[in-house]
Amino acid sequence: MNWTTIWSQAAAPSFAMGMLQGKKKTVVFPVSSPVSGERVRLRFSNIYGKKPYVIGAVTVRGKGQPVPVTCGGKRAFTIPTGGHTFSDPVALPVAAGEALEIRLFYASKAQDSNMTLEEAVAYPGDHTADEALPEVKKESYKQQYNLYDAVVSLDRVEVESEECSKLIVAFGDSITAMNRWVKPLQKRLFARFGGKYTLLNAGIGGNCLLYQVPGFMGSSYGEKGVVRFERDVLSFDDLHTVILALGVNDVAYYTKKTEQIISFDAYTAAILELTKALKDRGVRVVMQTLTPREGFVKKGYTSEMEALRVKINAWIRDCGQFDYVFDADRLLRDEKDPARVDERYHQGDHLHPNTLGGERIAEAYDLAALTGEEA
């Protein structure tokens, strides 16, 4: 039997250093399993917290009643600082393709966070065992900025299965984290291969490959990619393919002050180093070109930044270092104004794909090139 990760997210310090996370809330979200199994377990992280936090209650629902999740035999349990903690395995039959509903009640505030699930909803109070959930209205700031409710502290859901699923990890920024292309690509992989491949999301909004964003909000953008790569990608067993999709934020920070950190040479050297680490483990490397971002900020995106993006993309297409190059730039750009995303494909901010843009990316992926086998 094998423990297959069916859902994961990369941890980052919580939004506004936890000010908007609160406590005494239940977050509810679905997770679809590509594999069948008889047991489920969860993994919690406390990488960035300065003190332990308490999970007040957890339930997982399949087709039947909610099943309580324990840790050390306890319904309410403490997650210590400095690493990861697994729950006890829970007896819960899971069928391939089945959606599980997970409910987490936080008895205290947690610092590790991410926003990768548009379907996640946070409710005041403990609703882990309720049959019906209360009505909630999404806060105005979340509606304005297309922010999701965060699934705080949880970073993996695993199913114990007979089949050994091969993991594909998408390593990126908010364009990845928002799941607009990752989820439909997951569905294509499952429709073609069943549980043979599992696509995981290791995106963090605002994340850069080379640059550690300073300031109050910068910490919530996560540690730069070259630092978090080992924890968020190389730590997985059964790693088969990695999609590298970081850099569009780096180019937006490129100035005279940052050119010693952010440059064409620094970017290509870092990507080649990550590629070597993966190939040394026998892992396939897929590289995405950097999509357009002009218009995302009314001021500040310069011609020098755009020139760097264009130069990086030319290198990605021509260097011959990757198993597969996926040209997201060419797919989404406005052919009449290639520094901008086509108006049909962004969510109104000139950067992040909308549902149509995400589906366009997912449908354009060559599954044989992605997996290395004929589909």
| Residue boundaries of the structural domains of the chain | 2-157, 165-371
Q: What is the pLDDT of residues 147-192, one digit of tens each?
A: 778 888 999 999 999 988 999 999 999 999 999 999 999 999 999 9
pLDDT value of residue 21: 58
Q: What is the pLDDT of residues 108-152, one digit of tens each?
A: 988 888 888 888 888 999 999 998 888 887 677 666 666 778 888
Whether the per-residue pLDDT at 303 is higher than 90: the answer is: yes
Answer for the pair 202, 9: CB distance below 8 angstroms, yes or no.
yes
pLDDT value of residue 8: 96
Whether the per-residue pLDDT at 17 is higher than 60: the answer is: no
Whether the per-residue pLDDT at 23 is higher than 90: the answer is: no
Start-to-end Cα distance in the chain: 26
pLDDT value of residue 15: 67
Q: Mean pLDDT for the chain?
A: 93
Helices assigned H by DSSP within 94-158: 140-145
Domain 165-371: give its CATH architecture: 3-Layer(aba) Sandwich (3.40)
pLDDT value of residue 143: 67
Q: Outline where DSSP puts E strands in the chain.
A: 2-8, 12-13, 25-32, 37-45, 53-61, 67-68, 77-79, 84-86, 90-94, 99-106, 112-113, 121-124, 154-161, 166-172, 197-201, 239-245, 284-288, 324-326, 333-334, 337-341
pLDDT value of residue 63: 86
pLDDT value of residue 375: 53
Nearest CA among 138, 151, 148 for reference residue 103: 151
Whether the per-residue pLDDT at 19 is higher than 60: the answer is: no
Mean pLDDT of 27-34: 94
Mean pLDDT of 335-349: 97
Contacts of 98 (CB under 8 A, 6+ apart): 32, 33, 62, 63
Whether the per-residue pLDDT at 262 is higher than 60: the answer is: yes
Q: What is the pLDDT of residues 263-296, one digit of tens each?
A: 999 999 999 999 999 999 999 999 999 999 999 9
Residues 263-297: b if buried by 16+ CB within 10 A, e if exposed: ebebbbebbeebbebbeeeebbbbbbbbbbbbbbe
Whether the per-residue pLDDT at 233 is higher than 60: the answer is: yes
* Structural tokens at position 311: 């130069």
Whether the per-residue pLDDT at 98 is higher than 60: the answer is: yes
Pick from 12-21, 76-85, 335-344: least confident = 12-21
Mean pLDDT of 292-315: 93
Whether the per-residue pLDDT at 357 is higher than 60: the answer is: yes
